[in-house]
Amino acid sequence: MNLTHVEHIGIAVKNLDESIKYYENILGLKCYAIEEVKDQKVKTAFFMAGQTKIELLESTESDGPIGKFIEKKGEGIHHIAFAINNLAEGLKEIEAKGIQLIDKVPRQGAEGLNIAFLHPKSTNGVLTELCEHPE
Ligand code: ZN
């Protein structure tokens, strides 16, 4: 297992445009990209705070994962993402140790990253994403 750093922190928001205003006008960060990830039914906005990336997530449909999350828990921190060197291998290793996976094989996430989620039931309640930068 080789996690190199926290790749980003994912935050569920009801309204992306309103939330971007807070990050830009109050915190003084700059939104450098907005991207829709269709299979996750989300629109994402990205910021860099120094070396740390923040990902805002707005649901594009109420039955999407972020829509359901907000309905249950309200807005707030949704997941933490770690960068990993070999995602496919890491997932096998993690599963072999008895951790419940949401994604057994990597899939395509925002910014062209290969991603997979670990189930919060196995991770002390923290939805955990692993990201691999493609070669
Ligand atoms: Zn993420």
Instruction: Check residue 21 and give its pLDDT.
Output: 98
pTM: 0.93
Mean pLDDT of the chain: 95
Read off the pLDDT of residues 75-99 as tens digits, 9 standing for 90 and up: 999 999 999 999 999 999 999 999 9
Average pLDDT over residues 97-120: 94
Give 60 Cα–ligand 1 centroid separation in angstroms: 16
Read off the pLDDT of residues 30-62 as tens digits, 9 standing for 90 and up: 999 999 998 889 999 999 999 999 999 999 998
φ, ψ of residue 118 to 5 degrees: the values are -100, 145
Give 81 Cα–ligand 1 centroid separation in angstroms: 6
Give 2 Cα–ligand 1 centroid separation in angstroms: 18
Give 98 Cα–ligand 1 centroid separation in angstroms: 23
The answer as to CATH 3.10.180.10 being correct for domain 3-132 is yes
